Amino acid sequence: MSEPEIKSIPLDFQRIEEDEMRQRAESFYQRIRTRRTVRDYSAEPVPRDVIENCLSAAGTAPSGANRQPWHFAVVSDPEIKKQIRIGAEEEEREFYTSRAPQDWLDALAPLGTDANKPFLETAPYLIVIFGEKFSHDDQGKKQKNYYVQESVGIATGFLIAALHNAGLATLTHTPAPMKFLNKILGRPDTEKPVMILVVGYPTTDAKVPDIERKSLDRFTSFHDAK
């Protein structure tokens, strides 16, 4: 059966002057360039409506065939966070002691990471991001989703940027495998855990690795008309 036709509506797009365009681009860059992965979190509560608005922003991301193949499980319950920490650290210990190749361990060594993940309990929010292999239409009929990985990745990028813009710190945590998250959070097997996004305020004494980002010319090529 063919997909139902989607009607078209006028595009809501407001063009801005080039000077303001440049100012906005520069302002956003200066804001987002201060984003860092944080591992030291305060237990200080975060307003739930801030989290909800950032999630709504993530939900505006483009997706394959507009399937929007993502689910965000938002966890603030201390007991569930504890279960997630136990499950994650179990996988992480296995990773660090037997699964990870030596070159990967060597790459991680300067960052000071290990199998202990106290932030999974300390931070006020964990947002567990799932990719949906299938979804259901309004009649409950199962339908395949397309470009799930790419779509979820874009939505996650929107979410991280929104949270940073709101004044919150984040950390992307990817223990592997992550199927224990389906069980803890009661998510169906048709959903694949992509990552745990840790969200909150950093501690006043939080430190981050002294690293540098690649300069624009190192990760970009322009192919202009001659």
Q: Write down the domain spans for the chain.
A: 38-203
pLDDT at 141 over 80: yes
CATH architecture for segment(s) 38-203: 3-Layer(aba) Sandwich (3.40)
The runs of H, that is alpha helices, within 36-195 are: 48-58, 78-94, 102-108, 119-122, 148-165, 180-185
Name which residue leads in pLDDT, 104 or 176: 176
Residue-level pLDDT at 6: 83
For range 91-108, the mean pLDDT: 85
Measured CA to CA, the distance from residue 137 to residue 142 in angstroms comes to 7
Residue-averaged pLDDT of the chain: 94
Contact by Cβ (8 Å): 130, 75: no
Name the 3-class secondary structure at 205: coil
Name the 3-class secondary structure at 171: strand
Residue-level pLDDT at 104: 76
**The residue to which tokens 């989607």 are assigned:** 6
Measured CA to CA, the distance from residue 200 to residue 41 in angstroms comes to 6
Confidence band (pLDDT; 50, 70, 90) for 2? Answer: low
For range 48-72, the mean pLDDT: 97
Name which residue leads in pLDDT, 86 or 140: 86
For range 180-209, the mean pLDDT: 97
In 4-144, beta strands by DSSP E = 70-75, 125-132, 134-136, 142-144
Inter-CA distances, 34 with 30, 134, 168, 222, Å: 7, 37, 11, 26
Name which residue leads in pLDDT, 97 or 148: 148
Q: Which DSSP letter does residue 96 get? A: I
Task: Name the helix (H) or strand (E) containing 26.
Answer: helix 18-32
Given the DSSP bridges, would you call strands 169-173 and 134-136 parallel, antiparallel or unpaired? unpaired
The model's pTM: 0.93
Task: Name the helix (H) or strand (E) containing 196.
Answer: strand 191-200
Given the DSSP bridges, would you call strands 125-132 and 70-75 parallel, antiparallel or unpaired? antiparallel
